[in-house]
Structure 1
């Protein structure tokens, strides 16, 4: 096939074809903003990479489902080009100390598998560190929103790391309620003292609210009244009364 026909064939590839390369899909374009440094952040890194590759329709180059077309020389070469781009993205998203050990691999899927087999490891120290960070996290100088979202992110990371299976037994609902209660307690324990009276009243509720409901109530009232985490006690009392009113008002 001549060069002109080859260019025509490549130009006919659309966005839905994994062999399609957008002009912005170059080896110099970072794939994700974070870099893999070892075992601890592998789950977050791999999830971020898969999301980015999914947008570009290039997941097949790391999971091995996109294979070379040996019957078409042009598409064969286009696969090589796409593989090189994906490979460069992967190598560009890992720390320098990991780079040297992977630079001589030729396939993106081989590098992906190597990274997974090496760093997708869960041991007691990783679980311990995550659980410790969750248990000791305090609001401090953070806003209510910053504190909640940081804690929520850590919960999700813990769940992904622990890789717990979905419970289908009769106790499933009770397990979900128990985990919800634990998260509520963790969230309330880390709040600043200006929420002390609010926490006490929320804990008297039966059933207990979940974390999202609790955060929503606190956030809405904080926004409406301009309450900061360093407000004085009289303002906190007014805030508590308002929370009580809104929590009991089904129209809000």
Structure 2
């Protein structure tokens, strides 16, 4: 939902930046129309059970805050569970592509629960680099032993490859093994 609101330049209706003008303002009717559009988008994306609880809302910001209060909880047990899944995930008998896709889904879900620093300071850059290295190590640790020599080669390279580059290299190796077999 947030992605759609960003794309339509309507986030201000849910974050409070776009305040309701007074009724005698020339912008009042335009604000009401945009607010109604945002309300309808939100209502059309929620379950039927939630819809009956929010159908009478008149303000997108209040509706959003209500939904956020109910559902936007960073749950410690979910955070723990994601770390556990990421740490224990291995390729097993699946393809590298399936393994990487599953790992990427877990990383994306985890990223939605936390806020990574976004300023341009050196500390932020260093943290983001560290975060990317952790992802690379997690990916490499879960690969089958048949990729051990490639794993060692990648870890000896300076600078380390990105996780995307590592996936590409391993995927090419998997394709090559498939052709030889």
Matched ranges for 1:69-148 at <5 A: 70-71=23-24, 75-140=27-92, 142-148=94-100
Name the stretch that deviates more: 202-211 or 98-107.
202-211
Q: Displacement of 1:172 after TM fit?
A: 7.1
- From the superposition, tell whether residues 181 and 58 of structure 1 become closer, same or farther in structure 2 (CA, over 3 Å): closer
Corresponding residue of 1:212: 164
Structure with more helix by fraction: 2
Q: Displacement of 1:133 after TM fit?
A: 1.9
CA distance in 1, matches of 2:33, 2:16: 16
CA distance in 2, matches of 1:184, 1:63: 35
Asked if 1 retains the 8 angstrom alpha-carbon contact of 2:90 and 2:99, the reply is yes
> Gaps spanning 5+ residues in structure 1: where?
1-48, 237-252
Per-residue CA deviation, residues 13-56 of structure 1 (Å, 9 max, x unaligned), is: xxxxxxxxxxxxxxxxxxxxxxxxxxxxxxxxxxxx22212222
Query: Greater CA radius of gyration, 1 or 2?
Result: 1
Provide the alpha-carbon RMSD of the alignment. Answer: 3.3
Give the TM-score of the pair, scaled to structure 1.
0.57
> Gaps spanning 5+ residues in structure 2: where?
none
